[in-house]
């Protein structure tokens, strides 16, 4: 039972000591600082270069390190601390001082089946609008979002959705819809090949999977959305009150 580097979950015992050391180091290093070379780390911890590379790759996928081809490995910028509130991606990124943009990947109509029909408060077979977008900030891919809306309530939505625009702004300005509340769930997952490609990341990198089920002031469901956020770029923040 030797240590097989690269096999998920299999790490040489010394790997963990090295990783902990790097995490402690990253707690004090300012973002952008270079970290010791592979050779230095391998020497100091008496581990193979393969084990060092594994630790660096894992910390990169976790968003703690940033690697620049041909330059080296640096302490990463802090993740975006995103408040959990009923705001739009566009507003969220502007608040962070970043420029939001989107790439429209898909906009189609399909008949509602089972759960989705129920979630959107429409009968089975009624039309759903499905909107798939890649969401970027300062031109960097951040999330993939798939929104489902009841097509009947939002006739003509197609022509209002511009590639980069805000869905919530369209709902407000074109349909007079104000959102009142939403149920959101957050789970972890690992990027699959398609997600990884769209997000410009490696397959298997940690992602945060969110679902949002939102309701308008009239109590009716408006959107059921699934989003996949890069785990290396995001953390979510909320205030807890007793
Ligand atoms: C967030 C939500 C999505 C929602 C989107 C609207 O990202 N998770 O459910 O569709 O905001 O953002 P925008 O108005 O920028 O399109």
Residue 170 CA: nearest ligand 1 atom is 14
Distance CA 98, CA 114 (A): 38
Taking 60 as the threshold, does the pLDDT of residue 163 lie above it?
A: yes
The closest of 157, 180, 177, 156 to 168, measured between CA atoms, is 177
Query: In this structure, what DSSP letter does residue 135 have?
Result: E
| pLDDT at position 50 | 94
- Asked if residue 90 has its Cβ within 6 Å of ligand 1, the reply is yes
Residue 199: count other Cβ atoms within 10 Å of its Cβ.
24
What is the ipTM, given to two decimal places?
0.99
- Asked if residue 168 has its Cβ within 6 Å of ligand 1, the reply is yes
Taking 90 as the threshold, does the pLDDT of residue 10 lie above it?
A: no
Percent of the chain with pLDDT over 70: 96
The Å distance, Cα 17 to ligand 1 centre, comes to 41
CA-nearest residue, atom 6 of ligand 1:
88
| Whole-structure pTM value | 0.89
Taking 80 as the threshold, does the pLDDT of residue 3 lie above it?
A: no
What are the tens digits of pLDDT across the range 82-128?
999 999 999 999 999 999 999 999 999 999 999 999 999 999 999 99
- Asked if residue 147 has its Cβ within 6 Å of ligand 1, the reply is yes
- Asked if residue 212 has its Cβ within 6 Å of ligand 1, the reply is yes
The Å distance, Cα 130 to ligand 1 centre, comes to 13
- Asked if residue 166 has its Cβ within 6 Å of ligand 1, the reply is yes
The Å distance, Cα 79 to ligand 1 centre, comes to 19
Report the residue among 154, 161, 167 best suited for mutation to probe ligand 1: largest number of ligand atoms under 8 A from its CB.
167
- pLDDT-derived band at 9 (thresholds 50, 70, 90) equals low
What are the tens digits of pLDDT across the range 27-76?
999 999 999 999 999 999 999 999 999 999 999 999 999 999 889 999 99
What are the tens digits of pLDDT across the range 165-222?
899 999 999 999 999 999 999 999 999 999 999 999 999 999 999 999 999 999 999 9
The Å distance, Cα 78 to ligand 1 centre, comes to 23
CA-nearest residue, atom 3 of ligand 1:
225
**207, 188 Cβ separation under 8 angstroms:** yes
- pLDDT-derived band at 8 (thresholds 50, 70, 90) equals low
Residues 6+ apart with CB under 8 A from 222: 149, 150, 153, 171, 177, 179, 214, 215, 216
Taking 90 as the threshold, does the pLDDT of residue 1 lie above it?
A: no
Residue 169 CA: nearest ligand 1 atom is 14
SS3 39: helix
Residue 214 CA: nearest ligand 1 atom is 9
| pLDDT at position 225 | 98
């Amino acid at each position: 039972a030797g240590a097989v580097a690269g096999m998920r979950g299999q790490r040489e015992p010394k790997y963990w000591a090295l990783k902990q050391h790097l995490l402690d180091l990253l707690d004090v290093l300012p973002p952008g600082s270079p970290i010791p070379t592979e050779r230095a780390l391998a020497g100091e911890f008496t581990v193979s270069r393969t084990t060092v590379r594994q630790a660096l790759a894992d910390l990169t996928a976790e968003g703690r390190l940033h690697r620049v081809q041909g330059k080296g490995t640096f302490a990463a910028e802090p993740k975006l601390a995103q408040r959990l509130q009923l705001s739009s991606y566009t507003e969220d990124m502007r608040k962070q001082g970043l420029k939001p943009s989107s790439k429209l990947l898909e906009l189609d109509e399909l008949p509602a089946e089972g759960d989705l029909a129920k979630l959107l408060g429409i009968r089975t077979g009624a039309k759903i609008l499905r909107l798939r977008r890649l969401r970027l900030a300062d031109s960097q891919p951040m999330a993939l979002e798939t929104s489902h809306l009841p097509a009947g309530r939002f006739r003509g939505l197609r022509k209002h959705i511009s590639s980069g625009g805000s869905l919530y702004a369209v709902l407000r300005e074109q349909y007079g819809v104000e959102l009142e509340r939403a149920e959101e769930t957050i789970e972890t997952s690992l990027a699959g090949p398609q997600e990884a490609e769209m997000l410009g990341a490696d397959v298997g990198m940690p992602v945060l999977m969110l679902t949002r089920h939102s309701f308008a002031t009239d109590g009716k469901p408006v959107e059921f959305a699934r989003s996949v956020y890069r785990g290396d770029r995001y953390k979510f923040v909320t205030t807890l009150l007793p």
